[in-house]
Chains A and B, each alone.
Chain A
Amino acid sequence: MSILSAMLVFPLVGGDYHTVLVSRIYCLAILALSLNLMWGYTGLLSFGHGAFFGFGAYSLGLTLKYVDFPGVTYVGVFIGTFGSVIVAIILGYFLFYGRISGIYFGIITLAFTTICMSAAIRLINITGGLNGLFGTFLRPKFGIPGVWEYQRTLISNMANYYTCLVAFLMGFAFCRFLVNSPFGKILRAIQNDEERLEYLGYNVPNFKIAIFAIASGLAGFAGTMSVPIQFIAPTVFGLLFSASIIIWVAVGGRGTLLGPIIGVFMVAYLENWFSMKFEYLWVLLMGAFFIFVVVFQPGGVLGIYRYFYNRT
């Protein structure tokens, strides 16, 4: 409860810079939670999950750039979210019915996101290439499509903060619902012993496609939410970004609801502080973090906390 109130009043005390930073972290937290659904609960490790975040961001960005009518923002968010779902279903159909799993799944998702990066860079006329998508048209507007539109374009940092906060809380509630549902138990069963499920009448590839689609849609949604507060560039499709998501989840605590959130806040804040001073060292440090977690404490930060909590 107190955390909630802190989140609500933060922009009033945090100052502009931090408000924007935390807004961005909320979006990344949704992204981390979505990877966690796939990896932490179902055991599917994607090395290209950032692609859907990028797809969401570009979808909304491009929609805002080329289309103009009241409520276009909602259309953009819809395309970013459900477009990701559809892409994931198609990709997932071939991957999971093709019985591709484990490391091969990781490799193919990595290839997928790299292809997206190439496309984003080459289609320079549409996406602005490596210069990124930017301009004065990026003004998400609110209102009821076709009926009424809020006259002042809500581009203030505070408005963005509260939008991202609401999105984050919705995303978290959704993940919590999913994980506690019977579907969530089936996901954990897939991670434990897929074959056992097949002999209990489950067509496992269908369930994998379902969670892949859900996680990708959530990632796409997170991407759309991040549009007002950051620069959209093809690097979002790169390995470093997708690997970062994995690191946030691993460091914070894979397979739990709070873990990924802790991971994002910790790593993103540290990164922000570090990369100003030791930019190249930062990547090295992230890698070291990751190795430490994998070797010594697979439960991540949350695991460490629980260990000490249980001892007292």
Chain B
Amino acid sequence: MILELKNLSKSFGGLRAVDHVTLAFEPQELRCVIGPNGAGKTTLFNLITGRIKADEGEVIFEGKNITHLKPYQISQKGIARKFQMTKVFEDLTVWENLLVAAMGHQRIGWRAFSRKVEKSVLDSLQEVMELVHLGHRGNELAYILSHGEKQWLEIGMVLAYSPQIMLLDEPTAGMSPNETMETSQIIKRISQNITTVVIEHDIKFLKEIGQNVTVLHRGAVLAEGTFDEIAENSLVRDVYLGRRG
């Protein structure tokens, strides 16, 4: 187990956003977290990465309790995240965005004043750009990229950070069907050696990716299994079709 969530809970006022969630993730697995809107998926990511404080429960990463650490400390341990609303550095070029991500992994400190670090990561960042289908866009400013391309850039940044775990929050949000297909190919490739957890809604995407799926509903784990098992699960279908509240 690389990541373990034990009895994790968070309420906002009277609303139980995450309700005693216990989950385990194995190294290098690719897991999809799905559920209707409001199920608590992003809140779960927020709890794991330290963006919000848990009311109850623990987050254990590689055997260590990281529940109450600050976000920068948690990410330094090797957890990288792509946000639901694309977060890239708009005034920096594609290449500079990736450079900043790569330097974060290196805990750059004083070496940031030397340009040697740029040369040392040049090749690996070129590889990252190819993997996220932005191969020749290196010198373009991030703000001129389309929405889908910005998503790819952010995925690239997560990859350039060389994390142990990638948390991808709705990587295909706002994408066309073609882009969604491309993204599923991208994610299948990059997740081969890194534990990857993806929050998603798009069924076609899930079909392409979904080996292991966890379904959340109202902050609690409803079902787990392969995509086919979940698709057959009547409980899950009821929840998605609104037959069950």
> Which residues of A line the B interface, CB within 8 A?
178, 180-183, 185-186, 188-189, 191-193, 195-204
B104: contacting residue among A180, A183, A200, CB under 8 A: A200
B89: contacting residue among A178, A180, A193, A199, CB under 8 A: A193
15 further contact pairs, Cβ within 8 A, besides A182-B103, A188-B96, A196-B88:
A181-B113, A182-B111, A182-B112, A182-B118, A185-B100, A188-B91, A192-B89, A192-B90, A195-B87, A197-B100, A200-B75, A200-B100, A200-B105, A201-B76, A201-B104
Interface mask (B83-102 → A, CB under 8 Å = 1, otherwise 0): 10001111110001001110
Closest to A178 in B: B113
A193: contacting residue among B70, B87, B108, B113, CB under 8 A: B87
Bound complex: CA A188 to CA B72 (Å): 18
Bound complex: CA A203 to CA B75 (Å): 10
Closest CB pairs A-B (n = 10): A200-B104, A183-B112, A201-B104, A192-B89, A201-B76, A196-B87, A198-B72, A182-B112, A189-B89, A201-B75
Interface mask (B115-135 → A, CB under 8 Å = 1, otherwise 0): 101100000000000000000
CB pair B115 A181 closer than 8 Å: yes
Q: Does B49 contact A (CB under 8 A)?
A: yes
Q: Does B81 contact A (CB under 8 A)?
A: yes
CB pair B105 A201 closer than 8 Å: yes
Interface band, chain B: 20 to 34
With known contacts A197-B104, A200-B80, A202-B72, A181–B91 Cβ distance under 8 A: no
Q: With a 10 A CB-CB cut-off, give which of A181, A198, A201 has the most chain B CB atoms.
A: A201
User: Please, which residues of chain B bring their CB within 8 A of the CB of A202?
Assistant: 72, 104
Tell me whether chain A's interface is mostly helix, strand or loop, or mixed: helix
CB pair A185 B114 closer than 8 Å: no
Bound complex: CA A197 to CA B157 (Å): 11
Bound complex: CA A201 to CA B164 (Å): 13
Bound complex: CA A200 to CA B81 (Å): 8
The 20 listed contacts between A and B (C-beta, < 8 Å) are: A180-B115, A181-B113, A182-B113, A183-B112, A185-B92, A188-B92, A189-B100, A191-B91, A192-B92, A193-B87, A193-B90, A196-B83, A196-B88, A197-B100, A199-B49, A199-B75, A199-B83, A200-B100, A200-B104, A202-B104
Closest to B96 in A: A185
CB pair A201 B72 closer than 8 Å: yes
Number of cross-chain contacts by CB at 8 Å: 80
Bound complex: CA A180 to CA B115 (Å): 9
Closest to B112 in A: A183
User: Please, which residues of chain B bring their CB within 8 A of the CB of A185?
Assistant: 92, 96, 99-100
With known contacts A200-B80, A201-B104, A201-B105, A183–B87 Cβ distance under 8 A: no
Bound complex: CA A297 to CA B66 (Å): 47
User: Please, which residues of chain B bring their CB within 8 A of the CB of A200?
Assistant: 75, 80, 100-101, 104-105, 157, 161
User: Please, which residues of chain A bring their CB within 8 A of the CB of B80?
Assistant: 199-200
Q: Does B243 contact A (CB under 8 A)?
A: no
CB pair B99 A182 closer than 8 Å: yes
Q: Does B244 contact A (CB under 8 A)?
A: no
Shortest Cβ gap from B13 to chain A (Å)? 24
Q: Does B71 contact A (CB under 8 A)?
A: yes
> Considering the complex, which residues of chain B in the window 107-165 have a beta carbon less than 8 Å from any beta carbon of chain A?
107-108, 111-115, 117-118, 157, 161
Shortest Cβ gap from A100 to chain B (Å)? 17
User: Please, which residues of chain A bring their CB within 8 A of the CB of B157?
Assistant: 200
User: Please, which residues of chain A bring their CB within 8 A of the CB of B107?
Assistant: 201
User: Please, which residues of chain A bring their CB within 8 A of the CB of B113?
Assistant: 178, 181-183
User: Please, which residues of chain B bring their CB within 8 A of the CB of A204?
Assistant: 72
Bound complex: CA A204 to CA B112 (Å): 14
User: Please, which residues of chain A bring their CB within 8 A of the CB of B115?
Assistant: 180-182
User: Please, which residues of chain A bring their CB within 8 A of the CB of B90?
Assistant: 192-193
Bound complex: CA A219 to CA B140 (Å): 34
Bound complex: CA A195 to CA B161 (Å): 15
With known contacts A181-B115, A185-B99, A197-B100, A203–B72 Cβ distance under 8 A: yes
User: Please, which residues of chain A bring their CB within 8 A of the CB of B105?
Assistant: 200-201
User: Please, which residues of chain A bring their CB within 8 A of the CB of B89?
Assistant: 188-189, 192-193, 196
User: Please, which residues of chain B bring their CB within 8 A of the CB of A191?
Assistant: 91
User: Please, which residues of chain B bring their CB within 8 A of the CB of A183?
Assistant: 112-113
With known contacts A181-B114, A182-B103, A186-B100, A199–B92 Cβ distance under 8 A: no
Bound complex: CA A183 to CA B117 (Å): 11
